[in-house]
Amino acid sequence: MGAKVRYYCKVKALTIAVDGYASCGKSTLAKDLAAALGYRYIDSGAMYRAVTWYLLEHRLAAEEGPTLQAALDTMVLDFVVKDGFTVLILNGQEPGLALRSMEVNRMVSPVSALHSVRIAMVERQRAFATRAGLTMDGRDIGTYVFPEAELKIFVQSRPEIRAARRLAELRKAGERQWTLDEVLANLRDRDTLDSNRDFAPLRRADDAVDLDNSDLNREEQLAWALDLALARGAVRP
């Protein structure tokens, strides 16, 4: 069941960066916070997943070069609200749950580490902030994409909880062949790759507020984040 949210119709337009490790719940938090504040929500991780999915679908190598750059130059990425949910559209197509496949999970960190991919996606991410009021989640939002964001949240949760969440996602997408141990190993590999890449690695911004949501439900973490947003300038009606 979705979280019950309180809606505020009069707010100061903040840029809110939500960063953290894979499957820590940062996308859920960022989406719920955007809905409660009437902000636009952008899932930066879905953008890197879309690039990864595109390369896999077109059997293109995940390596720097003119072929990759040509693909990036022609990609049209956007987010639209459909049936109350924000969905990613790539070149007019909605990849949907395919973005959460284990095949994409295995490749997304190496693809995201490619300099040309990172530059292309960050350029698009910053363009989304041309109008006021934005929440964006990812790995480097508070440190690289929006270092001046008014509110930065760094989300963490225990590894076994993160693995269980990702396994549930995979099963929802129809992939039932993976075990909890395999998913946990994949998450640890991704954490290592994301934290050690040369360009814009995953790390906590010095001015971020920490959230360990291991023992919080969806509504509790949203209430916590809304209190922070109000303290940073969001105004109750």
Question: Exposed (0-12), middle (13-18) or buried (19+): which is 138, by Cβ within 10 Å?
Answer: buried
CA distances to 22, 44, 55, 95, 217 from 63, rounded to whole Å, are 23, 20, 10, 22, 40
Let me know if residue 6 belongs to a domain. no
Rounded to 5 degrees, what are φ and ψ at 137?
A: -115, 155
- 58-112 residue pLDDT tens: 999 999 999 999 999 999 999 988 887 889 999 999 999 999 898 998 999 999 9
Model pTM score: 0.85
Let me know if residue 8 belongs to a domain. no
For the chain, where are the alpha helices, taking DSSP H only?
A: 26-37, 44-57, 66-74, 102-112, 115-127, 159-172, 180-196, 218-231
Domain CATH for 71: 3.40.50.300
Let me know if residue 198 belongs to a domain. yes
- The count of domains in the chain is 1
Is the per-residue pLDDT at 158 higher than 70? yes
Residue numbers of the domain that contains 153: 15-231
Let me know if residue 19 belongs to a domain. yes
CA distances to 13, 59, 164 from 234, rounded to whole Å, are 7, 46, 34
